Structure 1
Amino acid sequence: MTRLVVCDDHHLILGGIQMLLENDSDLHIVATASDGETALRRIGEHQPDIALVDVRMPDIDGLALLARINQNGWPVRVVLLSATITDAQVIEAVAGGAAGIVLKDMASTTLVECLRTVAGGGQWLPRQLVASAIGRSRAEEREASPFESLTRREWEVTRLLADGKSNRDIAAELAITLGTVKIHLHSIYSKLGADNRTAVALMVARSMRSPSRPA
């Protein structure tokens, strides 16, 4: 039998989950909580197989609770439950090792199927939800920092170009040939979608003055 602690600050949701699972022979609720502090205490006391946790709760939210469970080294698998979830929350949940994510507008049978899958050692992370969150996050990062695609040396060339250095000055400062500078400039123009050195300099000027240097 799989033992669960269920945590949700909406009593209607909490009661509905209890009713859903009360006649299930495989999934047994050993404790409930309606706030983060109580949830953490109940999970610590009962050491359930699964903690079904609302993402938004008073005191300690679901993601913070996931982090605390990891910090304590408790062998508890966490399933996050939410009415809505942001891309950042999805990414944090996956990075934190959440075993499942279930949206509250899904059918009740979906929740049961998720819990059974997680109880069996699997994961329930909706592929489209995770892929969309990661895709949008990466797109936002690229938009926020157009220089991320540059190599370290290309960034050095870009920085010197933006300072008004000529190709010869750049070559001398970086101890490379003029031909190598031209190759780097061609790559920089291509990656940044710029036509010339002036356009690149304007992009740098419009950025945050100190854009992230490529790794």
Structure 2
Amino acid sequence: MVDIVVCDDHHLILSGIQTLLSDDADLNVVATARDGETALRHIQHHRPDIALVDVSMPGLDGLGVLARINQHGWPVRVVLLSATISDSQIVEAIAGGVAGIVLKDMASTTLIECLRKVARGGRWLPQHLVASAVSRRRVEEREISPFDSLTRREWEVTRLLAEGKANRDIAAELAISPGTVKIHLHSIYSKLGADNRTAVALMVARHGSAGSSSDG
């Protein structure tokens, strides 16, 4: 017998899941909840095999429940249920060791199959969801640069600084005054969260040479 705690803030969905699982002799719903905090109390008390939790709920959501279970080290496997789930939520769920992800528009038999597989120690992570989410996040991460907030002139100063040039040399090359270079450096340090020239140079080395396209 597989003991399950079910949590969804929509009463009709919660009742429907409970009815669906009650028809299966091997799946036993030991408690239901309509919010994450209540679900955690049930999980702590019943120590079920599986927690089936809605991703999007007011207050503590499904990912929050997953994180708290990990913090407590409870041996319960989490299956997330959702109408829609974003790439960032999928990536966070996988990083948190989620055992399964099921979309609400999937057939009811899919949920049963998922729960059975998870109960046997497997994972139910639909390839079309996971692969596309991870791929898109990787692209987004490559496109995000710490230098995106810099103006074009600030990036020029940053590039020359990373080449080891002194303020007076930067000023001469950009045809601006050394005082203006200092003003740009102050802004650059603030935007990048850097304390000094060396820190900025290391950031340039670490993140490559992609500069800002902002005007200024």
Same fold (TM over 0.5): yes
Q: Hey, what does 1:214 align to over in structure 2?
A: 206
The code of the aligned residue for 2:35 comes to: D
The answer to whether the aligner puts 1:27 opposite 2:19 as a matched pair is no
After superposition, residues 108-187 of structure 1 pair within 5 angstroms as 108-145=108-145, 161-163=159-161, 165=163
Q: One-letter code of the match for 2:14?
A: L
Change (3 A) 1:131 1:48: same
- Residues 49 and 75 in structure 1, CA contact (< 8 A), matched pair in contact too: yes
What CA distance in whole angstroms lies between the structure 1 residues aligned with 2:118 and 2:93? Answer: 15
- The alignment partner of 1:121 has SS state of coil
Does residue 54 of structure 1 match 2:54? Answer: yes
| Amino acid in structure 2 at the alignment position of 1:93 | A
Aligned to 2:185: none
Question: Percent identity between the aligned chains?
Answer: 65
Structure 1 residues 162 and 31, CA gap change in structure 2 (3 angstroms) = same
Separation in structure 1 between the aligned mates of residue 112 and residue 102 of structure 2, nearest angstrom = 10
1:37 matches 2:37: yes
**Do the aligned partners of 2:2 and 2:28 also contact (CA within 8 Å) in 1?**
yes
Equivalent residue, structure 1, for 2:197: none
Matched position secondary structure for 1:64 = helix
Amino acid corresponding to residue 23 of structure 1 in structure 2: D
Residues 145 and 212 in structure 1, CA contact (< 8 A), matched pair in contact too? no
Q: Distance in 2 between matches of 1:71 and 1:101?
A: 20
In the comparison of the two structures, how many residue pairs are matched?
Answer: 167
CA contact (8 A) 2:51 2:76 kept: yes
Amino acid at match of 1:101: I
Per-residue deviation, 1:133: 0.8
The CA deviation at 1:58 is: 2.4
Instruction: Write the distance in 1 (CA, Å) between the matches of 2:46 and 2:204.
Output: 46
- Partner Cα distance (2:158, 2:123) in 1: 49
Q: What's the offset of the Cα at 1:145?
A: 2.1
Give 3-state SS (helix, strand or coil) of 2:206's partner: coil
Query: Matched residues in 1 for 2:124 and 2:35: separation?
Result: 24
Task: List per-residue Cα deviations over 1:71-102 (Å, max 9, x = no partner).
Answer: 11110000000001011100000000000000
Name 2:67's counterpart in structure 1.
67
Q: Normalising by structure 1, what TM-score?
A: 0.71
Uncovered stretches (5+) of structure 2, i.e. residues with no partner: 148-155, 167-187, 193-199, 208-216
CA deviation map 1:137-156 (0-9, x unaligned): 11111111298xxxxxxxxx
Q: TM-score, normalised by structure 2?
A: 0.70
Q: Which residue of the partner structure matches residue 83 of structure 1?
A: 83
Q: Residues 3-14 of structure 1 correspond to what in structure 2 (within 5 A)? A: 3-14=3-14
Alpha-carbon distance between aligned partners in 2 of 1:18 and 1:145, rounded to the nearest angstrom? 47
String of CA shifts for 1:169-206, please: whole Å, max 9, x gaps: 69xxxxxxxxxxxxxxxxxxxxxxxxxxxxxxxxxx9x
Taking the aligned partners of 1:101 and 1:90, their CA distance within structure 2 comes to 8
Distance 2:48 2:162 in 1: 63
